[in-house]
Structure 1
Amino acid sequence: MTIYNEESQPKRNFSSKGDGKHVSLNKSYYTNDKKTQSEGMNYNDAGRNYHQPTNEFQQKNDEENTSSGENVRKRRPRIGERVEQTPYNRKYEGNRGYSRTNADRKKSIRPKKKRKPFKQIKYKENIDPNTPIRLNKYLANAGVCSRREADEFIQAGAVKVNGEVITQLGTKITRSDEVTFYDQPVKLESKVYVLLNKPRGFVTTTDDPENRKTVMELVKSACSERIYPVGRLDRSTTGVLLLTNDGDLASKLTHPKYEKRKIYQVWLDKPVAAEHMQMIADGIELEDGEIHADAISYVTEEDLSQVGIEIHSGRNRVVRRIFEKLGYKVLKLDRVYFAGLTKKKLPRGKWRYLTEQEVNMLRMGHFD
């Protein structure tokens, strides 16, 4: 009969789950059990530190092997054990540890990608070079000055055609003629069409005598040609705005006889009554004559203070004056549609070139 007692059984040391260390079942730990207790060392400390050098001679030997470049077999890290590695190319600062050098910081910073400039679109123009054109219009289309200023320069003798000074107003030339302005050759500029989603706080003009911010500051990188806004938006009004150097198209879009759809979204200080909506649709009398909306409706059924209005008139501040006449205050006004152009996928304050299809639509007069 075999009798088992406690001294004949090897003792195991079970660590807690939170310890995260694996305890080896080496027999030497159990044979020297009493010796370990007498020296004040517990099993856990012994299990964790068994791989470290036990005496000065072994520690010195390890240092010599490491400095001599010999391959020293490293202990495989245990599960859950954190392995400290010396960072590459870092400066050791004692108790503060390793700090990154300026060279490391420069390497870690990724250079910003430069935005590619917008490629300007070259639009097709089917124009006969022998078609006559007024001289002042030629200078204006070339970006020299406006038509009124061109008439003044022509009378002053600053313009020559084929080497001869022209002072008579209304003179017509062809595109094949050589024109000089103060002895500098003048050539027609290529047409440019820029669509801007105008933000609040910018004046719709090419030059402001009060030195306020203008819309030209937002499109200064669009082209080198001289462009100007088509129509006007108030300083506090936002939305679709077209800029171009095509004078013929600009006159079509601003002349009253050409019907152009313009849709605005209006935010008011209070809900708009249904009878006032009907009055605006039927027509309302303003100080400069009667005006009526082509269409008007609430934007949502939940908020009756937001209204969408469609109108063809190009009178100054006409939308604001309509609602002010009925006792409402316009908090915000945004033009969302102009002559077939919208601000879809165009953030506030950004611009884009018109597509060839959009330009052909405007030239043919298909504004809707």
Structure 2
Amino acid sequence: MSDAIPGSTPRATDETIRLAKRVVEITGCSRSEAEHYIQGGWVRVDGEVVEEPQFKVGRQRVELDADARLAAPEPATLLLNLPAGANGAEYLRPENHWPEDPSGWRLLKRHFPRLAEAMPMEPGAAGLAIFSQDGRVLRRLQEDGPKLEQEIVVDVDGELAPYGWSRLTGGTSFQGWPVPAFKVSWQSEARLRFAIKAVRPGLIAHLCEQVGLRALAIRRLRVGRVGLAKVPVGLWRYLPVNDRF
């Protein structure tokens, strides 16, 4: 919903000016405030949101959303349900936003540049992939990531080696480092569920190989308290501001 800014009727000439200047003219705000409004996705030109202050307008109708705020938009964190073996960056597009996203975030162009992946998954794995512009989130996951429990399901093939279960749950090492205690259970005859910390690339496949099993497919469902929820494969949702890993 939007309300027209007073005085936002189209100009009578074909002269074009920057959108930021038009917003200043018709609201009386400062140039920096006008740019905040525009970059925050609060300004519409002929009914379409425009986020570029330098956008040229002439006869178009300019409107400001009724609930427009001057606060700078928060940097975004996107949670993608990554298809197996895919390049996550290829899916971080507006058209792949989950329509049922309950976060309340407004979809903005500025949420897509400078996204960095946090806590990369096993090679070829699927499931919860985390991309963020927020230095606080990236720092937290880099520093505290090894302490966060991850929920991972693995489709396996092969036959469990004699005493394999006790070997798997009784403590092991990987690349010369001890693996912290973890939980593992059968979800079905061919699927294991791990609740495990300090996951490094190759660890899950290694744990399976140690007991005579071959990991066919690996899917991450959760990191800390944040999970995929019902996001379909190939789509993403926003991480709400108040949610913490």
- Give the superposed CA RMSD: 2.4
What residue number does 2:222 align with? 337
Is the Cα–Cα contact under 8 Å of residues 193 and 243 in structure 1 kept in the other structure?
A: yes
Where do residues 275-286 of structure 1 align in structure 2 (5 Å cutoff)?
275-286=163-174
**Partner residue of 2:206 out of 321, 333, 343:** 321
Identify the residue that residue 226 of structure 1 maps to in structure 2: 114
**Bigger RCO (CA 8 Å, 6+ sep):** 2
Q: Which has the higher strand share?
A: 2
Q: Equivalent residue for 2:24?
A: none
1:193 aligns with 2:66: no
Deviations 1:266-294 (A, max 9, x none): 11112435832222222113332221442
SS of 1:322 mapped into structure 2: helix
Deviations 1:292-327 (A, max 9, x none): 442111113xx1x31111111132221111112333
1:248 Cα deviation from its structure 2 partner: 2.4
The reply on whether 1:269 has 2:154 as its aligned counterpart is: no
1:193–1:353 Cα contact (<8 Å) kept: yes
Distance in 1 (CA, whole Å) between partners of 2:116 and 2:202 is 20
Mapped pair 1:215 → 2:103 = no
Q: How does 1:143-154 map to 2 (within 5 A)?
A: none
**Matched AA of 2:80:** L
TM-score if structure 1 supplies the norm length?
0.40
Q: Letter of the aligned partner of 1:259 in structure 2?
A: K
Secondary structure in structure 2 of the residue aligned to 1:269:
strand
Structure 2 Cα separation of the partners of residues 353 and 189 of structure 1: 13
Deviations 1:19-64 (A, max 9, x none): xxxxxxxxxxxxxxxxxxxxxxxxxxxxxxxxxxxxxxxxxxxxxx
Deviation, 1:350, is: 0.6
Shift of 1:236: 1.5
Counterpart residue type for residue 88 of structure 2? V
| 1:310 matched to 2:183 | no
Deviation digits for residues 46-100 of structure 1 (CA, Å, limit 9, x no counterpart): xxxxxxxxxxxxxxxxxxxxxxxxxxxxxxxxxxxxxxxxxxxxxxxxxxxxxxx
Shift of 1:258: 5.7
Distance 1:220 1:349, change over 3 A: same
Q: In structure 2, do the counterparts of structure 1 residues 310 and 273 end up closer, same or farther at CA, with 3 Å as the change threshold? A: farther
How far apart, CA to CA, are the structure 2 residues paired with 1:224 and 1:267?
33
| Deviation, structure 1 residue 353 | 0.9
Mapped to 2, the partners of 1:295 and 1:233 lie a distance apart of 19
- Secondary structure (helix, strand or coil) at the match of 2:84 reads coil
- Contact 2:122-2:202 at 8 Å conserved across structures: yes
Contact 1:254 1:314 in 2 (8 A): no
Alpha-carbon distance in structure 2 between the residues aligned to 1:260 and 1:217: 27
Count of residue pairs the alignment pairs up: 160
% same residue: 19
CA distance in 2, matches of 1:280, 1:292: 12
- Choose from 354, 357, 362 the match for 2:239: 354
In structure 2, the partner of 1:296 is 184
| Consecutive unaligned residues in structure 2, runs of 5 or more | 1-39, 41-71, 95-108
Distance 1:331 1:224, change over 3 A: closer
Return the alpha-carbon distance in structure 2 between the equivalents of residues 337 and 262 of structure 1: 5
Offset at residue 251 of structure 1 (A): 2.1
Deviation at 1:234? 3.1
Larger CA Rg, structure 1 vs 2:
1
CA drift at 1:257? 7.2
**How far apart, CA to CA, are the structure 2 residues paired with 1:190 and 1:256?**
22
Q: Distance in 1 between matches of 2:205 and 2:146?
A: 22
CA pair 309-272 structure 1, distance change in 2 beyond 3 A: farther
Task: Please say if residues 267 and 333 of structure 1, whose CA atoms lie closer than 8 Å, have aligned partners that are also in contact.
Answer: yes
SS of equivalent residue, structure 1 residue 255: helix
SS in 1 for 2:242: helix
1:244 maps to which of 120, 129, 132: 132
TM-score (ref. length: structure 2):
0.58
Q: Is the 8 A contact 1:256 1:313 kept in 2?
A: no
Deviation at 1:216, TM superposition (A): 0.9
- Structure 1: stretches of 5+ with no match in the other structure: 1-121, 123-187, 203-213
Tell me the amino acid that sits aligned with residue 248 of structure 1. R
CA distance in 1, matches of 2:184, 2:200: 18
